[in-house]
Amino acid sequence: MPVTRFVGSHYEIGLQMGPRLRTVPLPPADEGRVRFAQRCEGLAREVYPPLLEKVEGMIAGGDLPATPFKAYFYGRGGPPQVGCTNIAVMPEITPDGQLWVARNYDWYYEARPWREVRQIAPQGALRHLGVTHHWAGSPDGMNERGLVVLLAALPGLDATGPGLHWHMLIDILLETCANAQQARAFITSVPHLLAFNYLIADAQEAMVAEATPQGVTLREPEEGILVATNHLPGREQPEGGMSEGERLRQRLSIRRYQRARELLGERRGALDVEALQAILRDHEGGLCRGNHPTLAPQAGFHASFGTIWSLVGQPERREFLVAPDHPCQVEYKAYRWMEYSDD
């Protein structure tokens, strides 16, 4: 993956990001959407003012129309719960006594050209590493203190009021929280615009914050294993009111969740980096998903959607190993936040 570095004040980082945002298709912003986004912006100002400085830099650097861009940045809707499998294994069940995280990020193949690793060093905040394809932020990140955040979308729920979007939350967590306890305190204290699973970990602790506009539920590891996909275990939505696509997405999420837990349980006590990478290559349960030359061809949605990167990380080492496509087809490469320089 290409590596892009952003260094400076939040405004300067926004200036650096701005020219890359000129191709983002901004939908029309009617008066209601603008007012709602302004309420979300006001919340962001209360919680973490540097975010607003970055947005102003983006607008200036990209020569973007301020009103529709802010309406989109602060208040847009979210994706369906289409994919992603996130894993944490605790030190007591790994052979090296270290906590490990692992994940497959599933998205539309057309986003492949936008994938990159970001090294971000904002003045006055914690430096961090991000893996992303997204114009607004990084769904996967680790900061210089070893805090990891991995994202997975949940079924869509209507916003109940102003809240923070996923990319804003991850930026704040990575820039301000030195450990999982601090991240726990923050993510449970703020309103959430949309529904997402956030797997949060440091070198000793891991949790999933099941965040919705109605509130946050924290889920802890069971027998040293923590898995998050795209549903709420034990709180699955009834299928009766679902569309065919919604039923399929939930069933696939449950299948990946159960398969990941099965494979992790089978390797309990031997969960080193090679074992985790092998689990992420699994096809039987759809962990490594999408069109593969060695498998039966997919059709429709499944031909255009699949795993576009895979990663394994160790917070203690401040390191991500990233495979930039189906992990069964490409090798993992190491990326570390310590590669930053001050020049």
CATH number of 85-337: 3.60.60.10
176 CB contacts (<8 Å, ≥6 apart)?
A: 48, 125, 126, 182, 186
| Local confidence band at 342 (pLDDT 50, 70, 90 cut-offs) | very low
Tell me the mean pLDDT in the region 199-217. Answer: 97
Tell me the mean pLDDT in the region 1-26. Answer: 96
In the chain, what are the domain boundaries?
3-75, 85-337
Query: What type of residue sits at position 194?
Result: L
**Cβ-contact 56, 11 below 8 angstroms:** yes
**Cβ-contact 168, 44 below 8 angstroms:** yes
Distance CA 174, CA 189 (A): 16
pTM for the full predicted model: 0.95
- What is the pLDDT at residue 299? 65
Distance CA 25, CA 27 (A): 6
Residues comprising the chain, all counted: 343
Supply 79's token pair.
């994706």
Whole-number Cα distances in Å, 95 to 76, 273, 277: 44, 10, 15
Give 234-259 pLDDT, tens digit per residue.
998 888 888 888 888 899 999 999 99
How many other C-beta atoms lie within 10 A of the C-beta of residue 66?
12
**Cβ-contact 241, 232 below 8 angstroms:** no
- Helix (H) / strand (E) element for 51: namely helix 50-62
Distance CA 313, CA 27 (A): 36
Looking up tokens 């996909």 gives 229
Looking up tokens 């189906």 gives 326
Query: What type of residue sits at position 339?
Result: E
Supply 125's token pair.
């905040």
Distance CA 176, CA 149 (A): 13
How many other C-beta atoms lie within 10 A of the C-beta of residue 202?
23
Give 46-105 pLDDT, tens digit per residue.
999 999 999 999 999 999 999 999 999 999 887 665 789 999 999 999 999 999 999 999
User: Buried b / exposed e across 9-26, counting CB within 10 Å, b at 16+?
Assistant: bbbbbbbbbbeebeeeeb
Looking up tokens 């576009």 gives 308
Give 26-44 pLDDT, tens digit per residue.
999 999 999 999 999 999 9
Helix-, strand-, coil-residue percentages of the chain, each rounded to 5: 35, 25, 40
